[in-house]
């Protein structure tokens, strides 16, 4: 983590025109957080974005858009084992391994598509993440980067969503904004990092999520708990007290719980 990378992350996510947010740059700022000895930001961004540029250079100029992308990106895919790896959520590692979580694989597809002028967008289905290629309000196809970019017919998408116990709705097929995509990526990392030995990764994933313009109030409590996990008790107590004040009117029992935890944390400072 560097203050420079966080400043760049904030600069990207605070752009008023969502279409000008460079998802690749924001994801690379996330990846820097995982490095013990972070590289210089400018050099790092140049090196990693050039790998996406190189993929874009290989995309054929003619043909159906999804076929053009598949000819270059079909080698990227996912395996079940990837869900228990932090590097599956880090763009540089996904580019190196050709493997990752569905949402990161989808980011590779959309970022390469952007570079060659193919309209493409992430689609956040419940329990899965895919890519829409074409006009989101008109003619488009869905592809599944997890499955080497195979076409995903509507019936198959409905089956995938049904397996999560939900029903596929029109809003599930709407384009995922870059900010929502980043929130989902960071949420994946936070979930992966729930064990004590991953406390440092949990902390930075929540800190970045708190910088997003839209966030769940419960994230503040998670931040306090993450601070406890790395032994920063004084800060944790303060965050939990602030959280209790925020929710006291709507959720008095939750507020009392947070205050009790804050008090317990303060006792560890004596």
Q: What pLDDT digit, counting tens, does each position of 31-84 carry? A: 999 988 878 899 999 999 999 999 999 999 999 999 999 999 999 999 999 999
Q: What is the pLDDT of residue 79?
A: 95
| Local structure of 52: helix, strand or coil | helix
What does the alpha-carbon distance between residue 53 and residue 67 come to, in Å, rounded to a whole number? 18
Residue 194 in tokens: 């729930």
- DSSP output for 120-170: EEEEEETTEEEEEEE-TTSSEEEEEGGGTTEE--HHHHHHHHHTTT----G
Q: What is the pLDDT of residue 53?
A: 98
Nearest alpha-carbon partner for 223 in 244, 238, 206: 206
Which residue(s) pair with 22 in the sheet? Answer: none
Nearest alpha-carbon partner for 135 in 174, 163, 192: 174
What does the alpha-carbon distance between residue 63 and residue 234 come to, in Å, rounded to a whole number? 60
Give the mean pLDDT of the chain: 93
Q: What is the pLDDT of residue 38?
A: 79
């Amino acid at each position: 983590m560097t203050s420079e990378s966080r400043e760049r992350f904030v600069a990207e996510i605070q752009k008023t025109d969502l279409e000008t947010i460079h998802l690749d740059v924001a994801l690379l700022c996330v990846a820097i957080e995982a490095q013990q000895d972070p590289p210089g930001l400018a050099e790092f961004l140049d090196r990693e974005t050039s790998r996406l540029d190189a993929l874009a250079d290989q995309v054929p100029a003619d043909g159906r858009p999804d076929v053009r992308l598949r000819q270059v990106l079909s080698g990227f895919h996912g395996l079940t084992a990837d869900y228990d790896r932090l590097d599956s959520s880090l763009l540089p590692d996904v580019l190196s391994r050709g493997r990752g979580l569905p949402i990161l694989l989808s980011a590779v597809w959309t970022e390469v598509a952007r570079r060659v002028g193919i309209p493409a967008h992430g689609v956040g289905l419940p329990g899965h993440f895919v890519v829409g290629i074409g006009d989101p309000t008109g003619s488009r196809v869905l592809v599944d980067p997890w499955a080497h970019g195979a076409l995903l017919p509507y019936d198959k998408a409905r089956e995938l969503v049904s397996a999560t116990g939900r029903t596929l709705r029109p809003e599930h097929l709407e384009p995922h904004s870059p900010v929502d995509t980043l929130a989902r990526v960071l949420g994946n990392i936070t979930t992966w990092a729930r064990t004590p030995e991953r406390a440092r990764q949990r902390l930075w994933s929540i800190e970045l999520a708190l910088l997003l313009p839209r966030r769940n109030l419960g994230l503040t409590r998670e931040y306090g708990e993450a601070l406890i996990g790395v032994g920063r008790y004084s800060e944790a107590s303060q965050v939990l007290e602030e959280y209790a004040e925020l929710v006291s009117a709507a959720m008095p029992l939750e507020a009392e719980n947070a205050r009790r935890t804050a008090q317990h944390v303060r006792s560890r400072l004596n």
